Structure 1
Amino acid sequence: MADSASLPSCPSAAVAASPLDDLLIVGVNHRTASADLRHRLYVEEEDQASRLAELAASGVTPALVICTCDRVEILTSAPAADPATLIARLADWGGATAESLSDLIATRRGAVAVRHLFAVAASLDSQIVGEPQILGQVKSAHKRAAAVGQVSGILEQSLQAAYAAAKRIRSETDIGERPVTLAASALQVARQIHGDLRRCRALLLGFGEMGELLAEELQLTGLAELAVAHPVERRAERAAQRIGCHRRDWTELPAALAGADIVISALGGSEYVLDRGHMAAALKARRRRPIFLVDAAIPGDVAPDVAELDDVFLYDLHDLEGLALRGKEEREAVAGAAWSILEAELGAFLRQHAERAAVPAVTALRRRFEDLRVEVLRGAPNDSEEATRLLIKRLLHDPSEALRLAAAEGRNTAELEALLVRLFRLSERENEDKA
């Protein structure tokens, strides 16, 4: 299954067979699978070395695993890697069956895989386009795989090219402004509700990219306290380490809500994390002191009827974007410019590898011509005219025979003739002769 329908189309290009054809990406993302499934397939950082070892034992090497809130994907450039092997690994990691995942998995190979990698690194394939965390997450996965000797060749080259494209997009467009603008809108609302944020306590539920960005921006205001909670304790610990804040146990959620002036929910599961009962109990414990609640998850974490509570100020990403709206046309222009840069970088990368793929054939042709030259010189060492005549005759012998054989077999020789014209610029020489 491919999920590129919502992305600009990939330009067609004839690319010679090369190591690039071995590049394979298999996995799920926010368009192909639910948040619950992505959570089940998620590979914890401390488990990735063992997962990579499993892949290597299956013949899948080099390889790396990218795990974020939006995606769980295996990248490999193992020759003739079988997507079924990777699907089986993912299913095993998530306690599922390969059959149950078959319709949810996106599989990409060759140039299509490279394009996807470029889009992921540049945050053009994220739920929040332009969010800054994804590039760091890809680099971290790269570093972990490299530490166990699992990155080399075309996989390494593709990753480096993706980083270069992402850097250019960031420096030449405003694609990264949208998440920052959303965060600025959240800070504006928080100040309107609570005034001086240095007296406020905030709680982050989950570790989604946008949720962490909002939490980090709030931290810069000098919050009195920031804590993070997640149903999976290890993920809460890592998020707390990344952000530099406290961790609350998930079983302490009622007390954590009651103590929070600002709550950011970024889990994105199939069920609501916070409902009217949760928030009503928190307000009662707070003696009706207001709560600024940001639903930063897609799909949402907060039940809609929570907004009916008088002292809960509920905003989702759509609300924040409305506050930060600078015009649909401007946003589309920025995204278009980013994709144009990506396509240019992709085209350059594919051309480079197509040229590399042609090198062995050119080397063999040069060696063949040199052998013929030496052979002819042996036969006519002192007669340059005879030697050059013989050399031309022998150089033309094999192509002429190939054309005659193709015609004898009833094949259309037009393509071969056109290739000869292109290789030896025959049309240009004919024009020169006529001039």
Structure 2
Amino acid sequence: MNAAVFSVAGFNHRLCPAGLREQLYVEDVDQPALLARLRAAGVAEAMILSTCDRVELWMAEGDVAALDILAEAARLDPASLAGYRFALAEEAALRHVFAVASALESHVIGEPQVLGQVKATHRLARDAGMIGPVLEPVLQAAYQAAKRVRSETAIGERPVSLAAAACQLARDVQGDLSRCGALLLGTGEMGEFLAGQLLAAGLDRVSVIGRTARRAEAVARRLGGHFATLEELPQALPEADIVVACHGEGRYTLSADMVEGALRRRKRRPVFLVDLGVPGDIEPAVNRLDDAFLYDLEELEQVALQGRARREAEAGAAWAILEAELAAFRRQAAEREAVPALTALRESFEAARLAVLADLPPHDPAREAVDRATRLLANRLLHRPTLALRELAAAGQDQAAIEALLRRLFMDTKDEE
């Protein structure tokens, strides 16, 4: 690949505010038309990566001016976006693509979604005929780098948000969430969000108890669960493997005695409790009960902070992997550029070998032996030049000068004289 034709331009979380990125966001259904406009504008290859963190063009034979097409599609004045955009080319663009695929350029380092988003965008662009010999090898190399980062570091293993921390702790206590049920005590937004995250993480079922049956029913409907009244709490509590409290009454809705009674009825099967209330909804004495695991907002935040710190610590090892993969990609790309010269050199030797065979009579008994001997000789003579040419190409030597020297030394130059 000729890196000079590869570039990246766009808007990301480092330079562009969230509201503006939201306006620029490109839905999947709109990508084919925008890719067609980019092709008409002279961009040879392109994909549009549009996520909550970034809206970017990854291009072959394109430049920052292509962003005007995205701005116009969003009904924004391109000139007004000049201070929010960035543009990278050649080596910097390659490093950016590798880092994005490996979640090292994400707002939350190590987040798992971005690689899937890159691959989905890749498919859209390929279906539109906008992936070719420049972007395809870059993307495949970026996927390989991302795979190594995931498998050789712990960058994605620790929770970095309150919801992720709660889901991880729920798994630690209960194991497989697909066998668990949760009780949402209260109808606040934070509690509903956490219940939704638990369901997304594999939770089997959820029940909702609220101040009023109407509000509890509405939340339960959105979560695909059941609802009950506060009076039914003593019956619902023993059935819950996970309790999320966000009642907000200003007094304890769950006492230690209530939880102890539920544990007895559960035959001491553990309960994981999350108290999102400020002030708390669950009596702190619950923490002293065997088989009850209570976390409040402050404790969840501490778990999330530890996860962020761990991911930051792993970032150094991840970047080292990335640099190694970039070096390997550059070397392979340079070696590919040497292939035409190697092919021409081998063709020159083969022509000379066949000329020697042509001097022999057609039925000469030595012909077969001469054919084998000259073929073996040519391969041996070409072995060291082949290795040297690939090494010189990988080292960044002037390819044109090397090819000119090869032609002068080994190839027929009568046409040039």
TM-score grouping bracket, smaller chain normalisation: 0.5 to 0.7
Q: Does 1:26 align with 2:6?
A: no
In the alignment, the residues of structure 2 paired with residue 181 and residue 32 of structure 1 have an alpha-carbon distance, to the nearest angstrom, of 23
Q: Does 1:162 align with 2:142?
A: yes
CA deviation string 1:334-392 (max 9, x = no partner)? 211111111111110011112222333455567788999999xxxxxxxxxxxxxxxxx
Q: Does 1:186 align with 2:171?
A: no
- What is the identity, as a one-letter code, of the residue corresponding to 2:182? L
Unaligned runs of 5+ in 1: 1-17, 206-210, 227-254, 264-285, 291-306, 376-414, 425-435
Paired residue total: 291
Taking a change above 3 Å as real, the CA distance of residues 143 and 212 of structure 1, as seen in their structure-2 partners, is: farther
Instruction: Give the 5 Å matches for 1:37-52.
Output: 37-52=20-35
- Larger displacement relative to structure 2 (175-184 or 365-374): 365-374
In the alignment, the residues of structure 2 paired with residue 163 and residue 289 of structure 1 have an alpha-carbon distance, to the nearest angstrom, of 50
| Match of residue 76, structure 2, among 96, 118, 121 | 96
Q: 1:197 corresponds to which residue?
A: 182
How far apart are 1:91 and its partner, in Å? 1.4
Q: Does 1:359 align with 2:344?
A: no
How far apart are 1:26 and its partner, in Å? 0.9
Taking a change above 3 Å as real, the CA distance of residues 24 and 225 of structure 1, as seen in their structure-2 partners, is: farther
How far apart are 1:107 and its partner, in Å? 0.7
Q: Does 1:82 align with 2:63?
A: yes
In the alignment, the residues of structure 2 paired with residue 125 and residue 69 of structure 1 have an alpha-carbon distance, to the nearest angstrom, of 13
Contact 2:9 2:57 in 1 (8 A): yes
State the secondary structure of the residue aligned to 1:108. strand
Q: 1:58 corresponds to which residue?
A: 41
Q: 2:319 corresponds to which residue?
A: 339
Contact 1:202 1:223 in 2 (8 A): no
State the secondary structure of the residue aligned to 1:112. helix
Q: 1:220 corresponds to which residue?
A: 202
State the secondary structure of the residue aligned to 1:179. coil
Taking a change above 3 Å as real, the CA distance of residues 29 and 361 of structure 1, as seen in their structure-2 partners, is: same
Unaligned runs of 5+ in 2: 174-179, 209-213, 223-246, 252-275, 283-294, 356-396, 407-417
In the alignment, the residues of structure 2 paired with residue 23 and residue 167 of structure 1 have an alpha-carbon distance, to the nearest angstrom, of 23
TM-score by length of 2: 0.56
- What is the identity, as a one-letter code, of the residue corresponding to 2:136? E
Instruction: Give the 5 Å matches for 1:383-398.
Output: none
Instruction: Give the 5 Å matches for 1:220-259.
Output: 220-224=202-206
In the alignment, the residues of structure 1 paired with residue 80 and residue 107 of structure 2 have an alpha-carbon distance, to the nearest angstrom, of 24
Contact 1:175 1:334 in 2 (8 A): yes
In the alignment, the residues of structure 1 paired with residue 107 and residue 195 of structure 2 have an alpha-carbon distance, to the nearest angstrom, of 14
In the alignment, the residues of structure 2 paired with residue 287 and residue 104 of structure 1 have an alpha-carbon distance, to the nearest angstrom, of 41
* Larger gyration radius, structure 1 or structure 2: 2
Contact 1:173 1:337 in 2 (8 A): yes
- What is the identity, as a one-letter code, of the residue corresponding to 1:165? A
Cα RMSD, aligned residues only: 4.8
Q: 1:137 corresponds to which residue?
A: 117
CA deviation string 1:298-336 (max 9, x = no partner)? xxxxxxxxx9964799x9999745224548875444211
State the secondary structure of the residue aligned to 2:9. strand
Taking a change above 3 Å as real, the CA distance of residues 225 and 333 of structure 1, as seen in their structure-2 partners, is: same
Taking a change above 3 Å as real, the CA distance of residues 213 and 197 of structure 1, as seen in their structure-2 partners, is: closer
CA deviation string 1:71-127 (max 9, x = no partner)? 0011111x3x2321x121121122222211122111111222111111111111111
In the alignment, the residues of structure 2 paired with residue 216 and residue 329 of structure 1 have an alpha-carbon distance, to the nearest angstrom, of 24
| Match of residue 94, structure 2, among 89, 114, 117 | 114
Q: Does 1:73 align with 2:56?
A: yes
How far apart are 1:169 and its partner, in Å? 1.1
